[in-house]
Structure 1
Amino acid sequence: MGDIIVAIGTPLYYAISAILLAWHKVLGLAFGEASGWTWALSIVGLTVTIRALLIPLFVKQINSSRNMQLIQPKVKELQKKYGHDRERLAQETMKLYKDTGTNPFASCLPLIIQMPIFLSLFHLINNAAKGHAKGFLKQGDVDQLRHGSIFGANISETLTKHTTTNVVVLAVILVIAMTLTTFMTQRQLMSKNMPADAMSGPYASQQKMLLYILPVVFAVGGIAFPIGLMIYWTTSNLWTMCQQFYVIRNNPAPGTPAAKAKAERDRAKAAAKGQTAGLTVETTVVDEEPRPAVRQQPKRQTKAERQKKQGPTK
């Protein structure tokens, strides 16, 4: 087991430290290489880089979540039909997933992928706090990271150590921020992008469980997290909220509150465009000056036609 962890962790140490040092080099030009703000913002840059690389997985997660929501009525029908036969129910449910191209585990992919990165960064910062270098970090980098501070608190310290008041205050604020953003991200998905039919059943139970369990896990675990790691996770949550808000607003699942809100916005835009077009036509008609009537010239007639019109001469 230890060999597997080393085999997975070692490449991640080098990848994470390479991205971290790249951001550190750029930000060091503005704040100074030894500044705690340089290291803190480098962690933010690391987060943005990793989340940008995970965008394809996020798109897959959103599509899978949409499919899971939309097939819930069919899942309920299968439960009513095969509720007495658990094996047949499992077979028919898996067949439904396959036919609709739905992966029930895809919604957890970004979190599953992020956890090894999260743990690797934890060990990277934790080792730096002890003065040990890992990955591409050199001893000078480790010393800077170890003593780098923001708001008077070292970013490598945790609440579990005998720390200063500044560390305690900043760590508590970040634990609260990390917990709230985790809760709000999941709440945003459930309240705006889940149809009424999907609010009950196994999938809804799973979402509700994640809604309350994940924040508690991070609130309890946050006590042992270094400040730098909490900066990473809070930034990641904020990225997820913004990314999720954009997707839900512009491409909501049918039958959801977000879909109704988008329909109302589209109707308002269409009405506004119609009013603008009407005003343009009306302005064109009003501004146009009336032209004088053209006098119609009488048609020329021959002598025979005039005599015929006047009648026979007496």
Structure 2
Amino acid sequence: MDPLSFPPIAAILDAAYELLMGLAALLQPVAGAASAALAVILLTLLVRTILIPTGIAQARAEQTRARLAPRLRALQRRYRNDRERMSRETMKLYADEKASPLAGCAPVLVQAPIVGVVYALFLYPVIAGHPNALLSEQLFGVPLGASLAGSIVSGTVTAPAALVFGVILVLIVLVAEVTRRLLRPDVAASEGVPGGEAVARMAGFLQFGTAVVALFAPLAAALYLLVTVSWTLVQRLVLRRRFPVEPATSA
């Protein structure tokens, strides 16, 4: 059974669809044929604005992890031969600091259903029983439902499609590189979290995974991804100044 056909989810998805197409209709006199693409961008900005509190929560969790990392490493060294004692002491440290080792997970869980509903608008040809007209709209002659990989495989790729997707992919890669350089994960701070060091080392390279997704995603979804990674970069830079992560030092 398709989970999106479940009545409550279908109703939410249909409401999001009506909002998106309503925005496109309002923008039609100004943006013309690009109104639907512009509506996708505006809807993405609206969603990211709604999710600002989750970004703040993640920044606070990152700051807490960095602050506690030296003490966590000390506990790991002290009780390296007693895993049960190390686990108890670790949880006690978090409790004493009124923090949680899973604090960064909750914001992600909150974002997931919201982002999932929005992303479904760009993937499904049928929304709540009616055709998804968004996918037939165009940007510079390229349907919003077309993907670069799909067009290449089918042999239907056009010069405008290659240009539009090429620009989007290049911009996503540039944002990923700036993110990697300016927000390089603190490997030392991540050592206090089980498996955190490996995750921190991989995180920088995973930034480029969005470009791979955009290669296979419909144009509407690629626009969504470009706006999302750009917003996330700016938001993280602002929040890093508000919640600075001090370099971890050995305890």
**Equivalent residue for 2:203?**
210
TM-score by length of 1: 0.65
Tell me, yes or no, if structure 1 residue 172 matches structure 2 residue 166.
Answer: yes
* Rg larger for: 1
Query: Structure 1, residues 205-236: CA drift from partner, whole Å, max 9, x if none?
Result: 322222223523x3333232001101111101
Q: How many aligned residue pairs are there?
A: 240
- Segment of structure 1 superposing worse, 163-172 or 60-69: 163-172
Superposition deviation, residue 114 in structure 1: 4.0
Name which of 204, 207, 226 aligns with 1:234.
226
**Equivalent residue for 1:158?**
147
Query: Aligned equivalents of 2:43 and 2:71: distance in 1?
Result: 42
Query: Aligned equivalents of 2:170 and 2:94: distance in 1?
Result: 38
Amino acid at match of 1:209: M
- Segment of structure 1 superposing worse, 117-126 or 165-174: 117-126
TM-score by length of 2: 0.80
Query: Aligned equivalents of 2:188 and 2:141: distance in 1?
Result: 51
**Greater relative CO (CA pairs within 8 A, separation 6+):** 2
Maintained 8 Å contact 2:79/2:85: yes
**Equivalent residue for 1:247?**
239
Query: Aligned equivalents of 1:11 and 1:207: distance in 2?
Result: 39
Maintained 8 Å contact 2:147/2:217: yes
Cα 1:234–1:12, aligned 2, differ >3 Å: closer, same or farther?
Answer: farther
Maintained 8 Å contact 1:67/1:100: no
Superposition deviation, residue 100 in structure 1: 2.0
Query: Aligned equivalents of 1:190 and 1:124: distance in 2?
Result: 32
**Equivalent residue for 1:67?**
64
Tell me, yes or no, if structure 1 residue 125 matches structure 2 residue 118.
Answer: no
**Equivalent residue for 1:190?**
184
**Equivalent residue for 2:42?**
45
Gaps of 5+ in 2: none
**Equivalent residue for 1:302?**
none
Query: Aligned equivalents of 2:11 and 2:55: distance in 1?
Result: 23
Superposition deviation, residue 81 in structure 1: 0.9
Gaps of 5+ in 1: 257-314
Superposition deviation, residue 20 in structure 1: 1.4
Q: CA RMSD in A?
A: 3.0
Superposition deviation, residue 91 in structure 1: 2.3
**Equivalent residue for 2:26?**
26
Maintained 8 Å contact 2:123/2:218: yes
Cα 1:237–1:219, aligned 2, differ >3 Å: closer, same or farther?
Answer: closer
**Equivalent residue for 1:309?**
none
Cα 1:152–1:21, aligned 2, differ >3 Å: closer, same or farther?
Answer: closer
Query: Aligned equivalents of 1:18 and 1:115: distance in 2?
Result: 21
Query: Aligned equivalents of 1:18 and 1:47: distance in 2?
Result: 15
Amino acid at match of 1:247: L
